Amino acid sequence: MAGVLAFLAAVLGVWAGGFPLSFYNDFPIAGWHWVSLLGPYNEHLVRDFGATMLALLVFTVWAWRTPTVEKLRVTGWAWLVFSVVHFLWHMLHLGVFTTAHKVGNVIALALILGLAVLLVVPDRKDDIKGHS
């Protein structure tokens, strides 16, 4: 779980932080416009999202590479705080999307939220042994 979240944070963080206009126009793939449909371009906002992802990446890699139950739970809570707010905002702004893109948004955001929840749940022994 931590490994998947780290990968997602790296991709999103580098893309939004380093190439904010491309992220705005092309996320999740060219032609889908999941970000640009939600309002005018704001470089500061997109770069801040990228920076948030990169900060979560650092934290997640640290917990994943030297795992303890406590580190994985705290990392899960950090992701959960971000993911709940992000998920709820997007659920309230799905009206601009086609049905297929609404479903895609919900699935993508729920996946990250679900992975965060899994890091928070009590038994993390398998993650500590296997570096999920």
Using the structure block, give the residue that is written with the tokens 């959960």.
80
Local confidence band at 132 (pLDDT 50, 70, 90 cut-offs): very low
Predicted local confidence at residue 1, as pLDDT: 84
In the three-class reduction of DSSP (H, G, I as helix; E, B as strand; rest coil), residue 41 is classed as coil
Local confidence band at 116 (pLDDT 50, 70, 90 cut-offs): very high
- With a cut of 80, say whether residue 8 has pLDDT above it: yes
Can you give the residue range of the structural domain that contains 76?
A: 2-130
- With a cut of 70, say whether residue 128 has pLDDT above it: no
Q: Which residue, 104, 83, 87, 82, is CA-closest to 32?
A: 104
Say how many domains are in the chain. Answer: 1
Predicted local confidence at residue 125, as pLDDT: 60
- With a cut of 70, say whether residue 129 has pLDDT above it: no
In the three-class reduction of DSSP (H, G, I as helix; E, B as strand; rest coil), residue 90 is classed as helix
